[in-house]
Chains A and B, each alone.
Chain A
Amino acid sequence: MISEIFNIQFFHPSIFYILGGLLIPVLRGKVKQGYMLTVSVLAFISVINMPLGNYGVYEFLSWKLTFGEVDKLSKVFAYIFTIMGIIGVIYSIHVKRDGEHFAAFYYVGGSLGVIFAGDFLSLFLFWEMMAFSSVFLVWFRKSPSSVDSGFRYLLWHVAGGLILLAGIILQYSVSGDLSIQYLPFHGWWPTDLQSLASYLIIIGFIVNAAVPPLGAWLPDAYPAATVTGAVFMSAFTTKTAVYALIRVSAGSEMLIILGVIMAIYGVVYAVLENDARRLLAYHIISQVGYMVAGVGLGTQMAINGVVAHAFCHILYKSLLFMGTGSVLYVTGTAKLTKLGGLYKTMPRTMIYTIIGGLSISAFPLFSGFVSKSITVAAFGEAHLTWAFLALMLASAGTFLHTGLKIPYFIWFGKDQGIKAKEPPWNMELAMVICSLFCIGLGIFYKPLYALLPYPLHFEPYTAYHTWETLQVLLFTQLGFFLLLKKLWCKDTISVDTDWFPRKGVKVFMRFTKPLANLEYKFIGEIYEYIIQKPIMGVAKIFKTIDTVIVDGAFNGLGQLTLALSRKMQKTQSGQIQHYAMLMVAGFIALVIFVMVLS
Chain B
Amino acid sequence: MEGIIINNLDYPVLTVCAFLPLAGALIIIFMRRDSLIRWLALGTTVATLIVSLPIYKHFDKTTFKMQFVEIHSWIPAWNIDYKVGVDGISVLFIILVAVLSILCVTVSWKAIQTKIKAFYISLLIMETAMIGIFVSLNIFLFYLFWELTLIPMFLLIGIWGGQNRIYAAVKFVLFMLAGSVIMLVGIIVLYHAGGRTFDLLELSRVIYPAKLQLWLFLAFFAAFAVKMPMFPIHTWLPDAHTEAPTAGSVILAGVLLKMGAYGFLRFSFPMFPYAVKVLFIPLLILSVTAIIYGAYVTLMQKDMKKLIAYSSVSHMGFVTLGLFTLNQNGIEGGILQMINHGIITGALFLCIGMLYERTHSRMIEDYGGLSKTAPVFTVFFTIFTLAAIGLPGMNAFIGEFLIISGAFKANMIIAVFSILGVILGVTYMVWLYYRVVLNEINSGSQSEIFDLDWRETATLVPLVLLVLLIGVQPDLLLSYMHVSVEHLLEQLHNALHPESVLFKESVESIAQYIKALFKWV
Contact = CB atoms under 8 A, between A and B. Distances in A.
Contacts of A519: 235, 297
B236 interface: yes
Nearest to A159: B423
A583 interface: no
A399 interface: no
A522 to B, nearest CB: 9
B401 A169 contact: yes
Nearest to B479: A61
B219 interface: no
Nearest to B473: A60
Contacts of B171: 527
A158 interface: yes
B5 interface: no
A11 interface: no
Interface residues of A, number: 34
A288 interface: no
Interface string B414-453: 0110010011001100110010001000000000000000
A166 B235 contact: no
Contacts of A155: 423, 426-427
Given A128-B391, A158-B426, A169-B401, A512 B299 contact: yes
Given A151-B431, A527-B235, A124 B392 contact: yes
B41 interface: no
A124 B390 CA distance: 12
Interface residues of B, number: 36
A589 to B, nearest CB: 49
Interface stretch (B117-125, B404-412, B493-501): B404-412
SS class, residues of chain B in contact with chain A: helix
B282 interface: no
Contacts, number: 76
Interface of A, secondary structure class, is helix
A80 B273 CA distance: 58
B175 interface: yes
A162 B418 CA distance: 11
Nearest to A99: B371
A128 B423 CA distance: 13
B300 A170 contact: no
Contact of A173 (B174, B300, B393, B408): B408
Interface in A524-539: 524, 526-527, 531-532, 535
B430 A526 contact: no
A523 B294 CA distance: 13
A526 B232 contact: yes
A121 B398 CA distance: 11
Interface in A505-546: 511-512, 515-516, 519, 523-524, 526-527, 531-532, 535
Given A166-B416, A524-B235, A527-B171, A158 B423 contact: yes
B351 to A, nearest CB: 19
Nearest to A122: B392
B469 interface: no
Given A162-B419, A527-B235, A169 B404 contact: yes
Interface of A: 60-61, 121, 124-125, 128, 132, 139, 147, 151, 154-155, 158-159, 162-163, 165-166, 169-170, 172-173, 511-512, 515-516, 519, 523-524, 526-527, 531-532, 535
21 contacts: A61-B474, A121-B392, A125-B393, A147-B434, A151-B431, A154-B430, A155-B426, A158-B423, A162-B419, A165-B401, A166-B404, A169-B408, A173-B409, A516-B300, A519-B297, A523-B235, A524-B235, A527-B174, A527-B175, A527-B235, A535-B174
- 9 closest A-B pairs by beta carbon, nearest first, are A125-B392, A169-B405, A512-B300, A158-B426, A524-B235, A162-B419, A523-B232, A519-B297, A531-B174
